Amino acid sequence: MALDRSVVAPEAVGVDPHRLDVLLRRIRLEVDHGPLPSAQVAVARGGRLVAFETWGEAGPDTRYVLQSVGRSIVAGVVWKLIGDGLLDVGEQVAAIIPEFAPNGKEAVTVEHVLTHTAGFPFAPLGYPKMLDREQRLAAFGRWRLDSAPGSRFQFHLTSAAWLIAEIVERRTGLTFAEYLHERITRPLGLSSIELGVPVDRQPGTVAPMIATDRTDDDQDPDPWGPWYLSDPRVLAAGEPSHALVATAADVALYFQALEHSGLWKPEAVVEGTRIRLTEHPHGEQIYGGGSGRRTSMGLFVTVAGPDAGSQLPSTGSPLLFGSAGAAYQLGFMDPESGLSLACLSNGYPLAGYDHSRRGTALLTNLANLAADLAD
């Protein structure tokens, strides 16, 4: 079942080599003559890699903090449980995790959590409490609703994934990290994908986060942005939806595995990528709101749908799914073309996200070039 990491000629799987060359040169430009300290990109189709390149201060074995790109991997874990009959999205979370029920949260369903409509987008669970399961469960009980479950679409930055991790443990007897490794990444041979990398194994293996706009050594990054993961202890704590690390090759092949490995029931992947809502995300732009386009949600993945919101490409099909990650990262799979992409970097603005006109255009351009590679 292990996937082949060797790179084949793009023509062998119907990828246009000239368009691929344009995409790779465009990304490399941001490293050679732009702000990025390094970048890594992989493109795959038909279960095979057609490109895997790394530029700048990194090597092919370097792993990157995936940020929101990792949500597609979290989603795949959930879809496997659904396909194996271990989880139903209509279940109430409190029926699975009784500790979660206090403060009127009994009506929250698994589907609410997976579609960011559960009603507690900023429920707190920080370091070091996140390290201890009993403290996490106590925090779940203290959380309060900001809106009625199902009434507001607002990205739950970390709270949703912590609940997903606990649901996985209740239904499988394995921690999320153990289940991901034992049941998915090890059988597939995707060894670079890891959650909770110990502090002593991070140096030299995980690309450190580097500010692209630092002008003053006394400047501090926004502690509420992705910079909280620059602390090796926090990265090791393993917050599920952002702290996953991997190479671009393994992310692109993970997307391919959803379609080609036989590890997932096809109907579960279809159900996971089926659009549940198409709305403008609520909240501030820096936290995923304030978008000019509506966002379509499947089960813990954004789907291109009618508007291709949340920085997904508009050149792919409406079935394309994945996620952009702060600040210059993107991962997606297009079931119609069979193409998958992972574009990763360790360069970040001090604010954590780049919502400048150039930053927005850069990710849009890269996404559209990538989704247009198939013949």
* pLDDT per position as a tens digit, 98-145: 999 999 999 999 999 999 999 999 998 888 999 999 999 999 999 999
| pLDDT over threshold 90, residue 20 | yes
Neighbouring C-beta atoms of residue 74, cutoff 10 Å: 26
Residue 326 identity (one-letter amino acid) = A
Q: Which architecture, in CATH terms, is 10-213+220-372?
A: 3-Layer(aba) Sandwich (3.40)
Model confidence at 326, pLDDT cuts 50, 70, 90, reads confident
| pLDDT over threshold 90, residue 206 | yes
More confident residue, 64 or 356: 64
Looking at residue 247, what is its pLDDT? Answer: 98
**Using the 8-state DSSP alphabet, how is residue 149 labeled?**
T
Q: Report, as an integer, the average pLDDT of 7-34.
A: 97
| pLDDT over threshold 90, residue 357 | no
- The predicted-structure confidence for 39-67, as pLDDT tens digits, reads as follows 999 999 999 999 999 999 999 999 999 99
Model confidence at 294, pLDDT cuts 50, 70, 90, reads very high
Calculate the alpha carbon distances from 150 to 145, 163, 326 in Å. Answer: 11, 16, 26
- The predicted-structure confidence for 210-228, as pLDDT tens digits, reads as follows 999 876 666 778 776 788 8
Residues ≥6 apart with Cβ < 8 Å to 301: 71, 72, 75, 272, 273, 321, 322, 323
Calculate the alpha carbon distances from 341 to 78, 165, 198, 209, 354 in Å. Answer: 21, 25, 27, 21, 21
Model confidence at 317, pLDDT cuts 50, 70, 90, reads very high
Element (H, E) at 270: helix 266-273
Q: Cα–Cα distance between 205 and 245 in angstroms, integer?
A: 10
| pLDDT over threshold 70, residue 342 | yes
| pLDDT over threshold 70, residue 181 | yes
**Which residues sit opposite 41 in a β-bridge?**
53, 343
| pLDDT over threshold 90, residue 328 | yes
Model confidence at 372, pLDDT cuts 50, 70, 90, reads very high
Looking at residue 126, what is its pLDDT? Answer: 85
Looking at residue 374, what is its pLDDT? Answer: 93
Residue corresponding to tokens 């700048």: 56
| pLDDT over threshold 70, residue 286 | no
| CB distance 352 to 221 below 8 Å | yes
Looking at residue 215, what is its pLDDT? Answer: 67
Looking at residue 216, what is its pLDDT? Answer: 66
Model confidence at 168, pLDDT cuts 50, 70, 90, reads very high
- The predicted-structure confidence for 241-273, as pLDDT tens digits, reads as follows 899 999 999 999 999 999 999 999 999 999 999
Half-sphere exposure of 334 (CA within 13 A, CB side): 25
Looking at residue 359, what is its pLDDT? Answer: 87
Model confidence at 307, pLDDT cuts 50, 70, 90, reads very high
Neighbouring C-beta atoms of residue 57, cutoff 10 Å: 15
Looking at residue 283, what is its pLDDT? Answer: 73
Looking at residue 125, what is its pLDDT? Answer: 87
Average pLDDT, the chain: 94
Q: Report, as an integer, the average pLDDT of 192-207.
A: 97
- The predicted-structure confidence for 80-104, as pLDDT tens digits, reads as follows 999 999 999 999 999 999 999 999 9
Name the residue ranges covered by the structural domains of the chain: 10-213+220-372
Model confidence at 355, pLDDT cuts 50, 70, 90, reads confident
